Structure 1
Amino acid sequence: MARETGNIKLKAARQHAGYASQQALVDALARAGLDLGITDAEVSLRQVRRWESPTPPWPHATHQRLLEHTLGLPMDQLGFTPPWGAPTERASSPVRAAQGAAMPLPLPSPGNGTQPASIALDYANVTRSHRRLYWRVQPPTIRAAVAEHARLGLQLLSEMSGAPQQTLASALAESLLLVGRIDFFDLRQPDDAESRFVEALQAAGAADSQLLGSAILAHSAFVPGWAGEREGAAERLRAARVYARRAEGVPAQFTAWLHAVEAECETRCGKHREALKAIGRGEEALGEGADAALPEWFDWFSPVRLAAFKGNTQLKAGHLPQARETLLQALAQLSDEARKQRTVVLGDLAAVEAAEGNPEAACARAIEALDQLAVTWYAAGMERLRDLRRSMDQWSDLDCVMELDNRLYEWRTTVNALQR
């Protein structure tokens, strides 16, 4: 397969923002012009093609404003270099101000090859270790380590060339994806996660890894999906499927995960029938027989995780007996390593009990989840428990609910929640 060329930073940012085609970006820039009151800076399809070429020209000032407004990134992270030299940090940029402490990761052009090829393998080995540590180490601690590892990877990338640079870029993309996952699922910081996913997609482009690019785009769909923005989530999932089709030998389990992501987003947007259909397609994908080997980095999904997705969807759709059965089966099959997923499943089981008018059973499941959260914090799990408690106000005077409140608002849990 030919390696993708051109301004991969701009292309990645465009696709991540939900503009699958260059014409879609042209239309979005036209709308941005109306929003910003810019009437004298029309952008043509030909212009966008030039911007995505291997040698993109430096855009005019008004075009820069439109691009930054539409894509949410500064010019250097969109693949442009000013004619007066290398890009510099612009503290006055509204995009940079909005990003706050976001880690700038402008990807380099082909490096100078000063580092030996073994460096890429050494870097990938550390990435592999972080992947395993994620499931046990507290989120802020592992995030700090992985983020610094990503900074190192960016520096090394500029000192590599050829196949070793591609290997290192793939490991860098995985590290950035992991930071984004921690930001979104563990710490519930979607804006930071959004920036990391863009950077991860740029690194995956440098590695020419279509399947990893698909995984990054699918993760990015959670951001609008959890915010109830159905069209934005659908556009990113559409792009993720395009990338997956371009990959060679896509595992059925990966395809099933894409359906599970769709189901989660549809559920969050209140489209329960569509979500259940997506779950059904995921189950069909898993039952198709012969399968390609899973990539080593694809460690966040399995058939039991699909069952957990299904149970949550059944719960939200009001299919309570089916949800209880599905979730109990998923809980029984979760491995000891799946501590974070266990809190989510326990929270959903508690919600089933509450919805069926069993506050004592709901509280018992919720306290099980809190016991697990005391070992490994997971913001997505705590979010389930907060939703549960809001649904139980009618039973606030019961002893079991007051005990649940005591656990929800004990010192350690409260400080964790405020910090996140």
Structure 2
Amino acid sequence: MCMGNSGNAALRAARQGLGYRSQAALADALTEVARTIGLRIEVAARTVRRWESESPPWPHPEHAAALEALFKRPVVELGFIPPWPNDAEGQALRGQSGATGPRKLSQYRRVAGGTELPASVAKNYAAITVAHRGMYWSLPANQLQRSVADHARMGADLLPQIDVRAAVSLAKAVSESALLAGRLEFFDLQQPEAAQRSFVLALQAAHEAADALLGCVVLAHMAFIPAFSGEAKRAEEARERVRAARAFARRANGNHELTAWIDAVEAEVETRFGNTRQALSLIHHAEQSYALHDPQQSPSPEWLDWFTPIRLAGFKANTLISAGDGRQALDTLRRVLDELPAESVKQRSVYLADAAAACVLEKLPEQACGYLEDALDAIGEYWYATTLDRIKAVRQGLRKWDSLPEVRALDERLYDWHTTVNSISG
């Protein structure tokens, strides 16, 4: 495909071939077709203009889905270059000529020299991905994130080189690795921009593998970013991600556990935007779904290891706190803390902070400080930025009790060297 000074000729030709004379007409058509596949997006004419430029950016996942639905072909055949080949290969691909444009990523081969990698590379790569999954629960986040993110990028670079028979298995492992990198960046390290990039790579690799289940969980994770932003104007963005996740789950015949998790994610989104009644209804539906789940009959993928009935109860407690029901939230969290596995240190720290928030609602400041001290102990062992956020939010709620010795002692812990340095650097 030669674009030269004429811009993205492949997309422009495809547009004109379908009878859309202007970029605005294509934008309207893409907005309409997105609705038919369950996406609520608005495509602007200026977006199409960027796509038809000399250096078209890789489309956002929802835009890519709309483009493929409208044109009935992969976006790589519309003049878009996937971001994962290295720069040299990307430049070479941009210089290729041919009416059909670049092929799908799994069909790429090195443009200049090089040999095809054996299928064993995919197997070995996936083994490291599985090891990283297990390490998430025990290694410091900043150390693990570097390794996982590098692993995901390396896998993306390997995709064009792998034996075609192993391309799907490698793409699945790349998607899982990028998803884990995004989880570390978002929940553990509070790096939403880095997490967004990782989630996009995870979604692209899931598409490469045609794995709708992985696509579903990546989209649902992407909903957390606008939901946690604190910006009310991003509510629809978060909800659209959840709708897309549900569409992918239906496409993949997701089981009851997956349905329950998506309900919990949507409940978190609605809680963040103040709709606690709807959130509690979603939690109730999730509990019903979990009651129907039969792991023997319909097992979940091995990588879905971050959700259990007890963690659903944790979601419920957080929503109850937002709804102002401290008593029921505290009862729920006491049960959660009793039943949570010992290795779930990160989640325990979050639930301890939530228990403190429930105590504040019940006007039990001394007990709240006790829970916060325990939460600080936990993040002293395994740093978790999400927990520190919740601790600080509870501390704001304790301001009327600033004179209590327990609150003063809490401040000494909250602003010690370890916590202060981690909160600023982490």
TM-score w.r.t. the length of structure 2 is: 0.78
What do residues 359-381 of structure 1 show as CA deviations (whole Å, max 9, x unaligned)?
11110000000000110000111
Deviations 1:177-218 (A, max 9, x none): 011111110011111111111111000011111101100000
In 2, Cα distance between equivalents of 1:145 and 1:315: 36
Alignment match of 2:220 (pick from 214, 218, 236):
218
3-state DSSP of counterpart to 2:324: coil
1:265 aligns with 2:264: no
Q: Structure 1 unaligned segments of length 5 or more: list them.
A: 1-6, 8-17, 35-42, 60-74, 89-106
Aligned pairs for 1:13-412 (under 5 A) are: 21-22=33-34, 27-30=42-45, 49-50=70-71, 53=74, 56-58=77-79, 76-77=82-83, 85-87=92-94, 108-112=105-109, 114-227=116-229, 228=232, 229-248=234-253, 250-291=254-295, 292-412=298-418
- Residue 87 of structure 1 deviates from its aligned partner by 4.7
Runs of 5+ unmatched residues, structure 2: 1-10, 12-29, 50-62, 96-103, 110-114
User: In the TM superposition, what whole-angstrom CA distance separates every residue of 1:239-282 from its partner, at most 9, and x where no partner exists?
Assistant: 1011111114x221111000000011110110000000000010
Q: Contact 2:67 / 2:75 at 8 angstroms: preserved in 1?
A: no
Q: Secondary structure at the match of 2:77?
A: coil
Equivalent pair of 1:50/1:56 in contact (CA under 8 Å): no
Query: Is 2:256–2:292's contact at 8 Å kept on the other side of the alignment?
Result: yes
CA distance, structure 2, for counterparts of residue 279 and residue 400 of structure 1: 34
Contact 1:26 1:48 in 2 (8 A): no
Q: Which digits, 9 at most, give the CA deviation of each residue in 1:261-304, with x for residues without a partner?
A: 00111101100000000000100101125341110110110000
Q: Confirm or deny: 8 A CA contact 1:110 1:160 kept in the other structure.
A: no
- Which one scores higher on RCO, CA 8 angstroms, separation ≥ 6? 1
What is the distance in 2 between the residues matched to 1:26 and 1:370?
A: 41
The amino acid that maps onto 1:236 is R
Please give the TM-score of this superposition, normalised by the length of structure 1.
0.79
- Matches of 1:135 and 1:129, distance apart in 2: 11
Deviation at 1:32, TM superposition (A): 5.8
Q: Indicate how the Cα distance of structure 1 residues 165 and 398 shifts in structure 2: closer, same or farther if over 3 A, else same.
A: same
Deviation at 1:333, TM superposition (A): 0.8
Q: CA deviation at 1:305?
A: 0.4
Which amino acid letter does the alignment assign opposite residue 86 of structure 1? L
Kept after mapping to 2: 8 A contact 1:323/1:352? yes
Distance 1:162 1:267 in 2: 45
Separation (CA, whole Å) in 2 of partners of 1:47 and 1:119: 30
304-313 or 390-399, larger mean C-alpha shift: 390-399
Superposition deviation, residue 86 in structure 1? 2.9
- Aligned-partner Cα distance in 2 for 1:165–1:222: 30
Structure 1 residues 236 and 383, CA gap change in structure 2 (3 angstroms): same
Kindly state the Cα deviation for residue 58 of structure 1 after the two structures are TM-superposed.
3.9
SS for the counterpart of 1:158 is: helix
Distance 1:142 1:290 in 2: 33
| TM-superposed deviation, 1:219 | 0.4
Give 1:53 shift: 3.9
What SS does the aligned partner of 1:86 have? helix
Larger Rg: 2
1:298-331 per-position Cα deviation (integer Å, ceiling 9, x unaligned): 0110000000000010111011111111111111
Q: Percent identity?
A: 39
- SS of the counterpart of 1:56? helix
Is contact 2:31-2:42 (8 Å) kept? Answer: no
Shift of residue 163, structure 1, vs aligned partner: 3.3
Aligned equivalents of 2:179 and 2:321: distance in 1?
A: 29
Corresponding residue number in structure 1 for 2:98: none
For the residue of structure 1 that corresponds to 2:292, the secondary structure is: coil
Once the two structures are TM-superposed, the CA of residue 354 in structure 1 deviates from its matched residue by 1.3
Separation of aligned partners in 1, 2:71 and 2:79: 10
In 1, the alpha carbon distance for the partners of 2:202 and 2:183 equals: 11
Q: CA RMSD in A?
A: 3.1
What SS does the aligned partner of 1:278 have? helix
Deviation for aligned residue 1:48: 8.4
Paired letter, 2:252: A
Tell me by how many angstroms 1:158 deviates: 1.6
